Amino acid sequence: MIILRSDEEIGKIRKAGLIVALVLDKMRSRVKPGIETAELDRIALEEILRNGGMPAFKDYKGYPANICVSINEGVVHGIPGARRLKDGDIVSIDVGVKSGNFFADAAITVGVGKVSLEAQRLMKVTEESLYRGIENAKPGMRLSDISANVQECVEKNGFSVVRSFVGHGIGEKIHEEPEIPNFGRPNKGPRLESGMILAIEPMVNEGGHEVEILDDGWTAVTKDRSLSAHFEHTIAVTSGAAEILTAL
């Protein structure tokens, strides 16, 4: 069941979303060659707690860290640790926050030092595809209109969308209905209504769309070890343009 949220509930999700946005803004400034991914996790936790939130990912289904940090061929769910970022890496950082009884979730991909032109293009296209999806999150549109527009933006630029992981509804749980694939034909699925809260999150690979899970049981990487990028926002469907709840 897709839950329609009241203005009061959306306000509470907006509060969680602001904390997510503040954390990601801090992450952008701290991503430098030489920093350990565990240090990013520590900084993120400190920022979440300082702003009155709780990390949503910690212990979720056994996940051992506060944020996800996925490097280069990492698609999603990379576990922070002793690995240090190096010049030329790209790193996706996914942050979820609980504030009160409500959740918000967003992700960015950042270049470390000087990155290749193709890596820059991958990140640019992935972020563009996110906003193409958001533009189609309007009442009367169908859920797959988001998916189809993400896919079109990605594939016309020669990249591929990950099919094994999808976006999702969000609210009183970190994952709620509906699932939001980043591919599909338009005009399918439920009609969008004001009050729906959606986490739209394109995951885009430089090569093929296939992924595999590493031995840690969490880290998803591209099967062909090509680069991957990930951007995400939590949004509210409104009577007009969607409101991004995880933006400063």
DSSP SS3 for 110: strand
Confidence of residue 2 (pLDDT cuts 50, 70, 90): very high
What CATH architecture is 7-244? Alpha-Beta Complex (3.90)
pTM greater than 0.95: yes
For residue range 125-144, list pLDDT tens digits in order. 999 999 999 999 999 999 99
Which amino acid is located at 215 in the chain?
Answer: D
Task: Assign 3-class secondary structure to the chain.
Answer: CCCCCCHHHHHHHHHHHHHHHHHHHHHHHHCCCCCEHHHHHHHHHHHHHHCCCEECCCCHHHCCCCCEEEECCEEECCCCCCCECCCCCEEEEEEEEEECCEEEEEEEEEECCCCCHHHHHHHHHHHHHHHHHHHCCCCCCEHHHHHHHHHHHHHCCCCEECCCCCEEECCCCCCEEEEECCCCCCCCCCECCCCCEEEECCEEECCCCCEEECCCCCCEEECCCCCEEECEEEEECCCCCCEECCCC
Q: Is 240 exposed, middle or buried (0-12, 13-18, 19+ CB in 10 A)?
A: exposed
d(CA 65, CA 87): 24
For residue range 56-88, list pLDDT tens digits in order. 999 999 999 999 999 999 999 999 999 999 999
The β-bridge partners of 169 are 176, 198
Closest C-alpha among 101, 121, 102 to residue 111: 121
**Domain spans of the chain?**
7-244
Confidence of residue 38 (pLDDT cuts 50, 70, 90): very high
For residue range 192-247, list pLDDT tens digits in order. 999 999 999 999 999 999 999 999 999 999 999 999 999 999 999 999 999 999 99
d(CA 57, CA 228): 21
CA 203, 209, 214, 218 dihedral sign is: positive
Confidence of residue 115 (pLDDT cuts 50, 70, 90): very high
Q: Is 202 in contact with 233 (CB distance < 8 Å)?
A: no
The pLDDT of residue 15: 98
For residue range 143-189, list pLDDT tens digits in order. 999 999 999 999 999 999 999 999 999 999 999 999 999 999 999 99
